[in-house]
């Protein structure tokens, strides 16, 4: 049917094809004729003829050439390298990283600029009206450029040319978005042209509401604040939703000159500009005349510039978090979308503010107790003083302090017994209590003393570190890395490598328990020598104070009293290679199998020691220490999680009747649970009657061990309960002797005691729970023999105690109770004569601390070790 229609001479389709073919034929004929004519005359000849005969032809050519040249120049100088307006569709502003503590509260912010992003609907209408009235009255109607305002700006530019004054902007809000986000704030005609081009492009890409949202979030408003929400907090200490009309108008004055209108000394100029904005709001129908009049009667009400009000007690902790985040994500925007200072991350940490404050206060008290009364030794720092820029020098030093009313200042002048100190805010005053060593250029701490006078304060030269960990998860709850993080970011809780002294002994004893010993095993506390070859000869170890042995005693007594000779004998019997493997397995360190390391000759950190003790408290199950629970990006997506376990079938729609799903343990079993508990049970005795006995009156179940290295150069305490384990050490950054009287029991243990006492509600009264296969046996505390009479007690004077045994090493029955009492009395009498057990320690002493064995490299390297 279709074919017959096409062949029909009268069909419509055939007529259309015929007519179209005729037109095409005529066009081809005309084109051929033109080509022939042009070929006959030649294009060059024709062009020359037209150029010579027609003035109009020449003018048209000149205009065409100028147009082409202008477009080429415009493209080369202006539009060739312009950023794409489409990039604003996916624009991610640089945002600070917010840090939360264990309770979810914000504790810190990593920020170089104040920025808070709001949505368009979150901005109050009066605020938007203030900015539109002040900056761009025709915003809703123009296409990116207000040509009337632009003409005025050009005229102003011409009149100020050569005067050195800056012409008014004449920029629309869209142009300001282009400037603030895409091309920068260069003062030039070229930048203005680029701004106009981009504004037109932006208007074709974004809705007006999107443009205004970008503007209100990105506009720089002084005091390091970008966007109106950040400025609202900076100038008024409130959110934008809490401001009144006068404050909205003030914020709208800032784009024209935050360095002027944002300063208290320019209050008259700020008031004049604010009232002008209010008049514009009335004219633009963004406010009524009555509202504007009431607002004009309001004072400016801006608050003094202030720093972030984060608790300085968290300084070392949040610095450790920052260090780890930078290592993983980078510092700045060029390092990636999740950088610390631009990525807008949300960090959930394990920081416990109560424990952190307790750690800071207790360590500071201990440092001041030891070193505060020793007088001025050296300044915090020293600089080459420049009297023309001394304020800047203080700022550039980066030193600060947040203790009581102390401030860090710079000694500006020293004349005889008089000196002048200056501070970062420009204030100066006379300095009292001047030591001979003080000189101009010293950075020191000072506190107010009378009217405009200052007294020198001594920051302890001794320092130390402290750390607390959740034994059941490895989450670090608190850390204090020195006296004050403002004096330096070096964290002595995680970065300082120190010798642990006798705090390492529990792991030596644990190795002995693994190799068949028991808490009641008798160990000779007597002379112990090893032959080290013809070069070094024989090496003999000694107890604390250079003492020899006191005969055979139970393993428990040896740990409670921190006997070096018993420790090295256990290490020798169990095999020092096995002891070294235990150290490595619990994460303390990897040391060669020399006996000196059994007494703490190796180096480790507070964090590593605490993590090892956490394994003891958790029945041998150990977790990697963490300070970050998880990280969210700016959209809320979790991008890093410390606990990476998955719970299979946790999201089932309905219960299938099978056992409830459970998370697998993410910890690592690094010790036999029974061994770990036996060690903890003996370390409870260290608190009850041993070298850490001063903790016993706290009234909560605690275990722990003191430590003192040769010199002594370091003093330690590590311990806690089944939930929280902590550790502390004190020493000089460049190790040197602390003094002959110093021991872990009288310097380090009191710091831990203050911590527990100040955070008592956090320390459970739940007794330590034994794992399966622990057998409880009544034994005589001194001999370790099993007894059948008497009542076991927990006090330091109890003659009969419960002891924890493995089934294979359970204590054998001993003699009767009456005979045991006679033997005990004889032993006590011998101890009092100096031939046996040492006397009970006096207050603030630590008789169990041991001196370093002067070891030779073959068996024990020449490293200082501690015993305790």
Helix axes 228-236, 208-218, angle to 10 degrees: 40
> Residue with structure tokens 């190799």?
515
Name beta bridge partners: 483: none
Neighbours of 535 (CB within 10 A): 8
> SS3 of 468, please?
strand
- Cis peptide, bond prior to residue 500, ω within 30 of zero: no
Question: 3-state secondary structure string, 255-283?
Answer: HHCHHHHCCHHHHHHHHHHHHHHHHHHHH
Is there a catalytic annotation at residue 502?
Answer: yes
Name beta bridge partners: 728: 466, 717
Cα separation values, 578 from 521, 563, 565, 592, 626, Å = 19, 20, 18, 11, 28
Residue 654's contacts (CB-CB under 8 Å, 6 or more residues apart) are none
Number of helices (H) and strands (E) in the chain: give both, helices first: 25, 26
Neighbours of 808 (CB within 10 A): 10
Alpha helices, H only, 398-520: 505-514
Contact 813, 785 (CB under 8 A): yes
Give backbone dihedrals phi and psi of 621, rounded to 5 degrees, phi first.
-90, 125
> Residue with structure tokens 């006397």?
839
> SS3 of 519, please?
coil
Instruction: Select from 339, 347, 310 the least CA-distant residue to 100.
Output: 347
Residue 254's contacts (CB-CB under 8 Å, 6 or more residues apart) are 219, 221, 222, 231, 261, 262
Name beta bridge partners: 413: 420
Query: Looking at residue 747, what DSSP letter applies?
Result: I
Tokens of 600: 């703490």
Find the farthest-apart pair of alpha carbons in the chain and give their distance in angstroms, rounded.
Answer: 143
CA-CA distance, 57 to 726, in Å (whole number)? 94
Query: Looking at residue 168, what DSSP letter applies?
Result: P
Name beta bridge partners: 669: 621
Neighbours of 45 (CB within 10 A): 11
Instruction: Select from 722, 814, 628 the least CA-distant residue to 107.
Output: 628
CA-CA distance, 78 to 199, in Å (whole number)? 13
Which residue among 133, 135, 562, 783 is the active-site one? Answer: 135
Which residues in 346-496 belong to E strands, given as ranges? Answer: 346-349, 381-382, 407-415, 418-422, 428-432, 442-448, 454-457, 463-470, 476-480
Is there a catalytic annotation at residue 135?
Answer: yes
Which residue among 225, 400, 502, 580 is the active-site one? Answer: 502
* Terminal Cα-to-Cα distance of the chain (whole angstroms): 112
Among positive and negative, which fits the CA dihedral 253, 258, 264, 268?
Answer: negative
Which residues in 571-702 belong to E strands, given as ranges? Answer: 621-622, 628-632, 638-641, 668-669
Tokens of 713: 């150069």
Burial 114-137 (b: 16+ CB within 10 A, else e): bbbbbebeebeebbbbbbbbbbbb
Contacts 24+ apart (CB under 8 A), 818-824: 820/780, 820/783, 820/785, 820/787, 823/782, 823/783, 824/780, 824/782, 824/783, 824/799
Question: Which residues are the active-site residues?
Answer: 135, 502
């Amino acid at each position: 049917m279709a074919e017959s229609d096409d062949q029909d001479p009268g069909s419509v389709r055939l007529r259309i094809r015929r007519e179209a073919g005729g037109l095409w034929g005529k066009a081809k004929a005309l084109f051929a004729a033109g080509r022939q004519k042009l070929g006959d005359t030649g294009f060059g000849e024709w062009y020359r003829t037209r150029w010579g005969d027609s003035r109009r032809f020449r003018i048209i050519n000149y205009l065409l050439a100028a147009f082409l040249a202008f477009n080429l120049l415009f493209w080369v100088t202006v539009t060739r390298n312009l950023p794409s307006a489409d990039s604003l569709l996916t624009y991610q502003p640089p945002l600070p990283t917010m840090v939360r503590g264990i309770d979810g509260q914000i504790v810190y912010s990593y920020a170089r600029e104040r920025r808070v992003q709001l949505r368009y609907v979150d901005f109050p209408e009066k605020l938007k009206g203030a900015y539109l009235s002040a900056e761009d009255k025709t915003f809703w109607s123009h296409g990116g450029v207000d040509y009337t305002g632009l003409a005025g700006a050009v005229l102003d530019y011409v009149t100020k040319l050569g005067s050195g004054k800056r012409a008014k902007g004449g920029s629309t809000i869209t142009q300001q978005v282009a400037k603030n986000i895409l091309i920068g704030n260069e003062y030039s005609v070229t930048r203005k042209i680029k701004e106009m081009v981009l504004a037109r492009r932006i208007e074709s890409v974004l809705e007006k509401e999107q443009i205004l949202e970008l503007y209100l979030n990105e506009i720089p408003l002084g005091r390091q604040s970008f966007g109106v929400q950040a400025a609202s907090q900076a100038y008024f200490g409130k959110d934008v939703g809490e401001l009144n009309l006068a404050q909205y108008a003030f914020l709208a004055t800032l784009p024209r000159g935050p360095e002027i209108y944002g300063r208290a000394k320019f209050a008259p100029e700020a008031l004049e500009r604010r009232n002008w904005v209010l008049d514009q709001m009335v004219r633009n129908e963004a406010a009524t005349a009555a509202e504007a009049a009431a607002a004009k009667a309001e004072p400016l009400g801006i608050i003094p510039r202030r720093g972030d009000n984060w608790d300085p007690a968290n300084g070392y902790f949040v610095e450790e978090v920052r260090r780890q985040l930078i290592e993983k994500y980078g510092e700045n925007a060029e390092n990636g979308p999740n950088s610390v200072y631009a990525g807008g991350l949300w960090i959930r940490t394990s920081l416990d503010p109560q424990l952190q404050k307790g750690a800071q206060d207790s360590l500071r008290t201990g440092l001041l107790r030891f070193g505060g009364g020793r007088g001025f030794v050296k300044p915090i720092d020293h600089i080459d003083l420049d009297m023309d820029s001394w304020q800047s020098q203080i700022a550039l030093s980066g030193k600060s302090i947040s203790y009581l009313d102390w401030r860090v200042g710079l000694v500006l002048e020293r004349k005889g017994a008089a000196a002048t100190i200056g501070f970062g805010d420009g204030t100066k005053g006379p300095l009292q209590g001047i030591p001979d060593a003080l000189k101009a250029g010293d950075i020191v701490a000072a506190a107010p003393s009378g009217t405009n006078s200052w007294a020198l304060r001594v920051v302890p030269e001794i320092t130390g570190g402290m750390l607390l960990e959740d034994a059941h998860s490895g989450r670090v709850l608190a850390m204090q890395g020195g006296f004050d993080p403002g004096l330096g970011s070096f964290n002595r809780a995680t970065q300082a490598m120190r010798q642990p002294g006798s705090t390492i002994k529990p792991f030596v004893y644990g190795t002995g328990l693994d190799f068949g010993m028991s808490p009641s095993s008798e160990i000779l506390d007597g002379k112990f020598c090893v032959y080290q070859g013809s070069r070094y000869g024989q090496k003999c170890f000694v107890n604390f104070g250079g003492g020899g042995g006191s005969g055979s005693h139970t393993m428990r007594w040896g740990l409670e009293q921190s006997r070096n000779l018993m420790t090295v004998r256990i290490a020798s019997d169990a095999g020092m290679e096995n002891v070294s493997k235990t150290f490595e397995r619990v994460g303390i360190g990897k040391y060669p199998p020399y006996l000196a390391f059994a007494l703490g000759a190796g180096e480790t950190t507070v964090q590593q020691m605490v993590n090892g003790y956490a394994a003891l408290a958790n029945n041998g199950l150990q977790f990697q220490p963490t300070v970050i629970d998880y990280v969210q990006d700016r959209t809320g997506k979790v991008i890093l999680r410390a606990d990476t376990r998955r719970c299979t079938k946790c999201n089932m729609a309905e219960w299938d009747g099978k056992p409830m799903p459970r998370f697998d343990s993410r910890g690592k079993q690094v010790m036999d649970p029974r061994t770990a508990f036996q060690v903890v049970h003996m370390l409870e005795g260290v608190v009850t009657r041993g070298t850490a006995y001063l903790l016993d009156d706290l009234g909560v179940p605690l275990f722990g061990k003191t430590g003192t290295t040769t010199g002594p150069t370091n003093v330690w305490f590590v311990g806690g309960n089944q939930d929280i384990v902590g550790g502390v050490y004190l020493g000089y950054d460049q190790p040197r002797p602390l003094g002959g009287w110093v021991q872990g029991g009288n310097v380090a243990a009191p710091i831990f005691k203050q911590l527990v006492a100040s955070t008592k509600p956090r320390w459970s009264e739940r007794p330590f729970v034994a794992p399966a296969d622990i057998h409880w046996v009544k034994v005589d505390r001194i001999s370790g023999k099993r007894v059948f009479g008497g009542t076991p007690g927990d006090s330091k004077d109890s003659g009969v105690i419960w002891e924890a045994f493995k089934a294979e090493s359970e204590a054998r029955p001993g003699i009767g109770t009456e005979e045991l009492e006679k033997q005990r009395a004889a032993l006590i009498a011998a101890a009092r004569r100096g031939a046996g057990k040492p006397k009970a320690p006096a207050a603030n002493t630590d008789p169990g601390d041991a001196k370093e064995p002067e070891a030779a490299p073959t068996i024990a390297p020449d490293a200082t070790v501690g015993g305790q």
